[in-house]
Structure 1
Amino acid sequence: MAHAPQIRIPATYMRGGTSKGVFFRLDDLPEAAQVPGPARDALLMRVIGSPDPYQKQIDGLGNGTSSTSKTVILSKPTQPDHDVDYLFGQVGIDKPFVDWSGNCGNLSAAVGAFAITSGLIPADRIPQNGTVTVRIWQANIQKTIVAHIPITDGAVQETGDFELDGVTFPAAEVQVEFMDPADGEGAIFPTGNLVDDLEVPGVGTLKATMINAGIPTIFVNAEDIGYAGTELQEAINNDAKALAVFESIRGHGAVRMGLVKTVEEAANRQHTPKVAFVAKPSDYVASSGKQVAAADVDVLVRALSMGKLHHAMMGTAAVAIATAAAIPGTVVNMAAGGGDRTSVRFGHPSGTLRVGAEASQVNGQWTVDKAVMSRSARVIMEGWVRIPGDSF
């Protein structure tokens, strides 16, 4: 029996923040995958190695975690005053889907560099030394991201001494600004409340802040679900019952936020919303062995992504944390000590992260002009990715 040979597609494998993903230029994809639909989804799943019942993605570029099961497609800008369109696809690991419902804040840090190196930014915009400001249209959520990319000797500067907890080696610092970060066109608080009583069968009624900034996120208090907020991955990810509880919270929260009509629907929308739990500052030891003192942070946050506790913090969730912390009365703000603030340093399983956000009330509605954080990014491999020609 004859089998279709493999084809090769130009691709770049990049780390952005605490995530990794496969980057493509839209024009480099096979024609059938240049438009949204089943062919594109099937191609990206095969590149990553999904669906994989073993959850290892051995036959692809994924690494069996939500942080590494990611794809990015860049194209010429469709919006005025922007440099590039950025489309993010979160690939399921053991299930056959690509979730297009949200952004990846971590990989956002790599988009500007990829746009420059792949020729999407005009050469006359690139200084010999200095910084290039890249205005990115985030196509999933229809928002603007501004990335400041360092340039040395006419090329993207990737190496440096900026350290990011959750990433082993230092690199060059990339400042990323998320403009008007409410996800999509909805209100920052979809329910109209800073805190809701969220009823979750089998769990109880939880005080929850459900926010739509960076990425839709459900925040609950750690102590209300039996945690301290200092937990590392193994404490959650090795506990099937705990994971089921968090998925139930996520599903019922998704319904309250108007993202889905039924809890069952949430199972097919794993990328959004996120669910996170918060606690007041406390000493703990990060997964790297680093000591984190209570005095080092304003609040502790642990977040789940694609059904598992994240090893650090998703960039978009960091935007949600900063936004919620800036608004007095939210679960996050109260855990951080209450009051007004324009930035927050939170503790996560790998260490700490500082994120800034400025919130204000306009006609009784909360708005956030932008959230700002520093990340890093670099190319890991570039060339072609190969997949069987009949796989999409």
Structure 2
Amino acid sequence: MSGVRCLLMRGGTSKGAYFLADDLPREPTARDGLLLRIMGSPDPRQIDGLGGAHPLTSKVAVVSVPDDPDVDVDYLFLQVAVDGAEVSDRQNCGNLLAGVGPFAVERGLVPAEDGHTSVRIRMVNTGDLATATFPTPGGCVDYTGAARISGVPGTAAPVVIEFARSAAPLLPTGRARQDVAGTTVTCVDNGMPTVLIPARSLGLTGYETPQELEADTALRDRLEGIRLEAGPLMGLGDVRDTTVPKLSLLAPPVDDGAVTTRTF
């Protein structure tokens, strides 16, 4: 019985299954059907697959050798629905992006340097470029380190990601602040279209738990109103059936860093 080579890795605050494109069917429908079976969808527990029963742990990275000599690898992100039979390529994932460089070294697509290795990555979903740099002492990926991020227990090696300047503007509306659906926001696009909202402008502290925010149906309706109005302003058109732009609530930091966020 033959199987499909796969490497499970955490990237940022997500976990996903990383594949070489050559190990998957080239036809998208066949590929997506296989990935649904591998991840165990549709099933809210994903009990018969590798998925972790949550959108943040039901993700796939498909990595391939590019046709561009100025790029080391191509990275296609696929979001696998948990309780639905859907595989989507309609957005990027910066979290899984953090694992693409180490994966490329582990799979022999990019040779490792002694010390640190930089991998130039083309994000196929959007065409944007990024360079990931991570420790490779002795020519081997070192996953241990002191880097800590909120939402992930323990520490690990840092992965520094530098995004190339895109042809698209960082401020897609041309303004740093503007009123959208009665709320002052900032619309940005640095690889992921996002609407930044001061939590206090919605009557929130910004320190609410995800469970508290998800249970607030009035807040959900207001946020969706902001998202639907922001979409056309950001050049995204009608976003009623898409997952972008993302929405992030901002508040002062409570432990460390520069800001506290709650992202939808």
TM-score by length of 1: 0.62
Of the two, which has the highest radius of gyration? Answer: 1
Q: Deviations over 1:182-219 (max 9, x none)?
A: 5xx433223232222212xxxxx111222111300012
Contact 1:137 1:143 in 2 (8 A): yes
Counterpart for residue 167 of structure 1: 152
Amino acid at match of 2:63: L
Which of 287, 298, 301 is the aligned partner of 2:258?
A: 298
Counterpart for residue 146 of structure 1: 131
Contact 1:79 1:137 in 2 (8 A): no
Distance between the aligned counterparts of 1:77 and 1:282, measured in 2? 40
Counterpart for residue 78 of structure 2: 89
Contact 2:16 2:59 in 1 (8 A): yes
Task: Give every structure 1 segment of 4 or more consecutive aligned residues whose post-TM-superposition deviation is greater than 4 Å.
Answer: none
Distance between the aligned counterparts of 2:205 and 2:85, measured in 1? 35
Q: Deviations over 1:47-86 (max 9, x none)?
A: 222233xx33223222222211210000002222211111
Distance between the aligned counterparts of 1:297 and 1:111, measured in 2? 25
- SS of residue in 1 equivalent to 2:176: coil
Distance between the aligned counterparts of 2:214 and 2:154, measured in 1? 25
Amino acid at match of 2:74: D
Using the TM superposition, give the Cα deviation of residue 170 of structure 1 relative to its aligned residue in structure 2, in angstroms: 1.7
Counterpart for residue 109 of structure 2: 120
Unmatched segments (≥5 aa) in structure 2: none
Residues 297 and 28 (structure 1 numbering): CA distance in 2 closer, same or farther, change over 3 Å?
closer
Residues 94 and 196 (structure 1 numbering): CA distance in 2 closer, same or farther, change over 3 Å?
farther
1:8 matches 2:3: yes
1:242 matches 2:226: no
Using the TM superposition, give the Cα deviation of residue 224 of structure 1 relative to its aligned residue in structure 2, in angstroms: 2.2
Using the TM superposition, give the Cα deviation of residue 278 of structure 1 relative to its aligned residue in structure 2, in angstroms: 1.8
Contact 1:51 1:92 in 2 (8 A): yes
Residues 208 and 164 (structure 1 numbering): CA distance in 2 closer, same or farther, change over 3 Å?
closer
The CA RMSD over aligned residues, in Å, is: 2.2
Counterpart for residue 49 of structure 1: 40
Counterpart for residue 99 of structure 1: 88
Give percent identity, aligned residues only.
38
Contact 1:76 1:83 in 2 (8 A): yes
Counterpart for residue 273 of structure 1: 245
Distance between the aligned counterparts of 1:241 and 1:42, measured in 2? 37
1:19 matches 2:19: no
Residues 56 and 256 (structure 1 numbering): CA distance in 2 closer, same or farther, change over 3 Å?
farther
1:191 matches 2:168: no
- SS of residue in 2 equivalent to 1:266: coil
Amino acid at match of 2:19: F
Distance between the aligned counterparts of 1:218 and 1:103, measured in 2? 16
1:208 matches 2:185: yes
- SS of residue in 2 equivalent to 1:209: strand
Using the TM superposition, give the Cα deviation of residue 227 of structure 1 relative to its aligned residue in structure 2, in angstroms: 0.7
Using the TM superposition, give the Cα deviation of residue 101 of structure 1 relative to its aligned residue in structure 2, in angstroms: 2.4
Distance between the aligned counterparts of 1:244 and 1:42, measured in 2? 33
Using the TM superposition, give the Cα deviation of residue 34 of structure 1 relative to its aligned residue in structure 2, in angstroms: 1.6
- SS of residue in 1 equivalent to 2:183: strand
More strand by share: 1
Distance between the aligned counterparts of 1:298 and 1:130, measured in 2? 29
Distance between the aligned counterparts of 1:94 and 1:246, measured in 2? 24
Residues 7 and 259 (structure 1 numbering): CA distance in 2 closer, same or farther, change over 3 Å?
farther
- SS of residue in 2 equivalent to 1:109: helix
Unmatched segments (≥5 aa) in structure 1: 1-5, 200-204, 284-291, 305-392
Amino acid at match of 1:195: R
Contact 1:254 1:273 in 2 (8 A): yes
1:233 matches 2:225: no
Residues 152 and 251 (structure 1 numbering): CA distance in 2 closer, same or farther, change over 3 Å?
same
Contact 1:50 1:95 in 2 (8 A): yes
Using the TM superposition, give the Cα deviation of residue 13 of structure 1 relative to its aligned residue in structure 2, in angstroms: 0.7
Higher relative contact order (CA 8 A, sep 6+): 1
Which of 213, 217, 228 is the aligned partner of 2:194?
A: 217
1:67 matches 2:56: yes
Contact 2:58 2:81 in 1 (8 A): yes
Amino acid at match of 1:126: A
Contact 1:278 1:302 in 2 (8 A): yes
Contact 2:128 2:191 in 1 (8 A): no
Distance between the aligned counterparts of 2:237 and 2:51, measured in 1? 28
1:260 matches 2:237: yes
Using the TM superposition, give the Cα deviation of residue 111 of structure 1 relative to its aligned residue in structure 2, in angstroms: 0.5
Q: Deviations over 1:164-183 (max 9, x none)?
A: 33221222222221222x5x
